[in-house]
Structure 1
């Protein structure tokens, strides 16, 4: 198989949807077989899944932060290992459609989706983030999660570099007030300095 042909192979063997909590009702009839829910530790479980057909659901609870803060549960290596274990387990399951969601469908869910796409596709990290941007244009993956995945998958910085390239594209597309907000928030280190 040539490299060109290999590049045409899908990153995941099933459809992937990413969304926020408010968008969940839009996907109730989409044939979702597996759901990953990533929400804050104290957030109530979304009730939207009552309208979904039977599916297998996994729930993880941690905050969308990249630095440690008192009273908040940051993503840990244990959380990222759970994502990787989940991706490995999916290889042995009949997955018709995977839906990954967090509160807004912007950070934790997009980081998780990128990790799942890159996990079994070494050398295709940039493709994973390009595909991510195609299916979730507002994606701004959590850099803490991506950094840990890069180390655990032994990608030598390729995952982090691909995420940074996506962040560069996203900064150009964002409204200036959003860029300023990001720069002054705890996520400021994720904003490219030259943009």
Structure 2
């Protein structure tokens, strides 16, 4: 069974060394901390996307999450090796958890509510970016199910970021 891992940037190298995922998705702000090299991962097994963790264009310099970012995440995550896929952002609680929720929905059509429950169970601090989720809902033709699942998710109960989260890809 394939696995999704979620990490922050600070723990990325140690987490990749520990779980040895077959693929990694990096979601960082443009012009920010550059992603580290990850030994053992080829270019085709690494996706790096650069956009800010925002939901509205309140600053003209910010790059909002866009449909092409979500399409890239979903396309890259269609085939997840048995060794898993690790997705990370700077803090490991918003962009990365939104991408993981979108990937769970991709691989479990109709299971959006269970995907959100599993994400909350795996992480008390997950706060998936709602714009990324709305874009994924549209890309996956979920007809609002993914957005509603996010809205129904209990609020985060922790602000202790970091660590490594593990989610089984199959919900059933």
The question of whether the paired residues in 2 share the 8 Å contact of 1:34 and 1:95 is answered with no
Please identify runs of 4+ aligned residues in structure 1 that moved more than 4 A.
none
Pairing partner for 2:6 from 18, 22, 40: 18
TM-score (norm 1): 0.72
> How far apart are residue 106 of structure 1 and its match?
0.6
Q: Distance in 1 between matches of 2:37 and 2:123?
A: 20
Q: For each residue in 1:139-173, what CA deviation from the matched residue of structure 2 results, as whole angstroms up to 9, or x when unmatched?
A: 1000001111112222121101110111xx125x2
SS of the equivalent of 2:38 reads: helix
**SS of equivalent residue, structure 2 residue 27:** strand
Per residue, is there more strand in 1 or in 2?
Answer: 2
Q: Which residue of 1 aligns with 2:65?
A: 75
Aligned residues between the structures:
155
Scaled by the length of structure 2, the TM-score of the pair is 0.81
CA RMSD of aligned residues (A): 1.9
Does the 8 Å CA contact 2:124/2:158 hold for their aligned counterparts? no
Q: Which runs of 5+ in 1 are unaligned?
A: 1-12, 176-195
Is the 1:20–1:104 contact (alpha carbons within 8 Å) kept by the matching residues of 2? yes
Greater RCO between the two (CA within 8 Å, min separation 6)? 2
Contact 1:66 1:75 in 2 (8 A): yes
